[in-house]
């Protein structure tokens, strides 16, 4: 598979999405970069739904690895542990705008994994993780009515700020995450 990379300028930062070099056995895999943030989004799906299944089993798993922040677990436990509460909540935030974009009656199991490979204290990841998840679904053969993008909006000193940094977010009196497509907003 050839390596494909697309870059855009967004809010003074370069955002790049690259595919073709990572997780080659996944149905869709992309590396999303902005600033020092690097996200790996992968998606896999069963070919058919299990017999008798009447619901859509979508699993979204967002993980921040210790090494993404330059830390290695020390002491007796050197392994990554179960997801932290904020990882579980962010997994739900990613699931919410994506779930309605699968076709009605599609019941094949889908697993969507977003792994933070590198973090940046000045960039909030929530909106970027939604966009990365959508990009992985778009390049897969899984039926998905996307793409969508996520964006964080804050208000600092009465001025709206798109994609505020962590320091701006602490001063903000508005913390709004919006996700949507070209035609509709899927989550506020």
Domains of the chain plus CATH, in order, are 4-144 (3.30.230.70)
Mean of the per-residue pLDDT values of the chain: 90
pLDDT tens string 4-56: 999 999 878 899 999 988 888 999 999 999 999 999 999 999 999 999 889 99
pTM of this structure: 0.90
User: CA nearest 126: which of 170, 91, 74, 168?
Assistant: 91
Q: For the segment 124-168, what is each residue's pLDDT rounded down to a tens digit?
A: 899 999 999 999 999 999 999 989 999 999 999 999 999 888 788
Nearest-CA neighbor of 93 among 128, 117, 67? 128
Q: What is the mean pLDDT of residues 103-122?
A: 93
Residue with tokens 């494909």: 4
pLDDT of 73 reads 62
3-class secondary-structure state, position 165: coil
Tens of pLDDT, residues 79-90: 666 788 989 999
Given this model, what pLDDT does residue 64 score?
Answer: 87
Q: DSSP character for 20?
A: S
pLDDT at 12 (0 to 100): 84
Q: Where are the beta strands (DSSP E) in the chain?
A: 4-10, 13-19, 28-34, 37-45, 58-64, 110-118, 149-156, 159-162, 175-180, 185-187
User: In whole angstroms, how far apart are CA 91 and each of 65, 94, 185?
Assistant: 14, 5, 19
β 159-162/28-34 pair status: unpaired
- Is the confidence at residue 78, as pLDDT, over 80? no
């Amino acid at each position: 598979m050839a390596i494909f990379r697309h870059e855009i300028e967004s809010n003074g930062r370069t955002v790049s999405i690259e595919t073709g070099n990572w997780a080659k056995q996944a149905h869709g895999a992309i590396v999303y970069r902005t600033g020092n943030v690097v996200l790996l989004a992968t998606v896999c799906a069963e070919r058919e739904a299990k017999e008798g299944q009447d619901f859509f089993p979508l699993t979204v798993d967002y993980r921040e690895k210790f090494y993404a922040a330059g830390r290695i677990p020390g002491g007796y436990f050197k392994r990554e542990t179960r997801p932290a509460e904020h990882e579980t909540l962010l997994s739900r935030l990613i699931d919410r705008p994506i779930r309605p974009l699968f076709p009605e009656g599609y019941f094949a199991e889908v697993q969507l994994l977003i792994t933070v490979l590198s973090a940046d204290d000045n960039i909030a990841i929530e909106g970027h993780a939604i966009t990365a998840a959508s990009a992985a679904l778009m390049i897969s053969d899984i039926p998905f009515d996307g793409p969508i993008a996520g964006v964080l909006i804050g208000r600092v000193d009465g001025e709206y700020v798109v994609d505020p940094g962590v320091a701006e977010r602490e001063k903000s009196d508005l913390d709004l995450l919006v996700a949507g497509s070209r035609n509709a907003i899927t989550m506020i």
